[in-house]
Amino acid sequence: MHIHILGICGTFMGGVAQLARASGHRVTGCDAGVYPPMSTQLEASGIELIEGYDPAQIGLQPDMYVIGNAVSRGNPLLEEILDRGLPYVSGPQWLAEHVLRDKWVLAVAGTHGKTTTSSMLAWILEDAGLAPGFLIGGVPENFGVSARLGDTPFFVIEADEYDTAFCDKRSKFVHYRPRTAVLNNLEFDHADIFADLAAIETQFHHLVRTLPRTGLVVSNAVEASLERVLERGLWTPVERFNSQDGWRIEGDDASGALRLFSGQTLLAESSWGLTGAHNRANAVAALLAARHVGVTLEQGVDSLSRFANVKRRMEVRGVVNGVTVYDDFAHHPTAIATTVAGLRRKIGNARIFAVLEPRSNTMKLGVMKDKLPESLAETDLVFCYGQHLGWDAAAALAPMADKARVVNDLEQLVTEVVQASRSGDHVLVMSNGGFGGVHEKLLRALGAGSN
């Protein structure tokens, strides 16, 4: 089959493209921005890329057009496809029909931690010799790629609640038909497509409805929103985690200790390099999901000691003159707070500078702006990039007084961070985008300052 993918350079659609190519299909694709690193990965897989959405691309005459959710009505190529009545399908539906069919799908859903938990789960299965396929919205360091077809029954997928395509406004994850589903947490997000938390809970309910009686739901016991989802209907066994009387992981960020408990019983322990209560919750969810396919909890805990995290999750980009610069994907206030808390526990009283780009659609709309001061409370200085926001970042951060600075020019932001820094500081850059290459700019400027 020849498929032509619209919106091919997004993380999800790029993964679909690589899985399709590995399955033996001819794959071509187009996007408004064809650039590395995704373009390089795709071209290395033998996938032909086209810049833009020129309607002339129908001349490729593929068997099927696969439409990414970044492509909206009014897109010239999409309109030509619709006018001519050509065959098309969404990315999640194509994936479900051509890759996930007949697989034991392990799906990881939740507002936060999907990428990290999926990566942990895939690694635990890999380390146990189960060689899973996977599609993850980041690059797990243990694998070096975001997608792999695999030739075993097991497939781990990051199950996103974002909508499927222009023609299908259900969440992507309703297409995946998992046998094992992790429900990590559930908060209001994606304000551009969901009216409120209840609307997202309905989508999670739809996911739960697709699980078989022989499946397993792994759910965070402390999330009232998830309990409401399960109360709406549950036909599958459920295991809850993250409660004091149930499954949980305790540890110490400074030492990297990792201890798995069931109630008051210590079952297994090891150590790892991750920090934060959120990552310990992610870990126990991954362990319970892996147990469903036969990996013992003790073996899983041992595997976590060799888990190398995910690119852009507390990734150290460099240390210059004693100043450590991190890259992290956190952009929702809850994720920001847990990321900062984990770093604080690890480094003690050293100074933390948060460099924040409120870039997600929800943050751009200002829905979460009033929660930012509290989420950044454990930092020593905050530098917020205020360009292209539809709200007043300075007003939102005013409760932090002189601990917060809003800068609208990227080069000026770099200058101010460098001028304020000294040896021993930790600069935590948080954005769900490229942030104008600010990490490298900071490292270069810190180095230049010593010359």
Q: What percent of the chain has pLDDT over 70?
A: 98
Residue 148 and residue 21 in contact, taking contact as beta carbons nearer than 8 Å = no
Helix (H) or strand (E) holding 30: strand 26-31
For residue 370, how many other CB atoms are within 10 A of its CB? 13
Band (pLDDT 50/70/90 cuts) for residue 450 is low
- Evaluate whether 102-304 and 315-448 have a shared fold: no
Residue spans per domain, the chain: 2-89, 102-304, 315-448
Task: Tell me the CATH architecture of domain 315-448.
Answer: Alpha-Beta Complex (3.90)
CATH class of domain segment(s) 102-304: alpha beta
Name the pLDDT band for 451 (thresholds 50, 70, 90). very low
- Split at pLDDT 50, 70, 90, the class of 102 is very high
| Greatest extent of the chain over all pairs of C-alpha atoms, in Å | 66
Question: What pLDDT does 27 receive?
Answer: 97
The pTM of this model reads: 0.81
Is the pLDDT reported for residue 194 higher than 60? yes
Phi, psi of 191 (to 5 degrees): -65, -15
How far is residue 208's CA from residue 230's CA, in Å, rounded to a whole number?
Answer: 8
Mean residue pLDDT across the chain: 91
Contact indicator for 92, 67 with CB cutoff of 8 Å = no
Tally Cβ neighbours within 10 Å of residue 23.
12
Q: Which residues contact 39 (CB under 8 A, 6 or more apart)?
A: 9, 49
Residue 67 vs residues 57, 60, 138, 287, 310: alpha-carbon distances, Å: 14, 15, 21, 34, 27
Q: What's the CA gap between 103 and 134, in Å, rounded?
A: 11
pLDDT at 147: 93
Q: What is the pLDDT of residues 48-95, one digit of tens each?
A: 999 999 999 999 999 999 999 999 999 999 999 999 999 999 999 999
> pLDDT tens across 237-288, in order?
999 999 888 999 998 888 889 999 999 999 999 999 888 888 999 999 999 9
Q: Are the beta carbons of 336 and 375 closer than 8 angstroms? A: yes
| Residue 41 in tokens | 């990965």
Q: What whole-number distance in Å separates Cα of residue 293 and Cα of residue 182?
A: 13
Residue 196: other Cβ atoms inside 10 A: 9
- What CATH code would you report for 2-89? 3.40.50.720
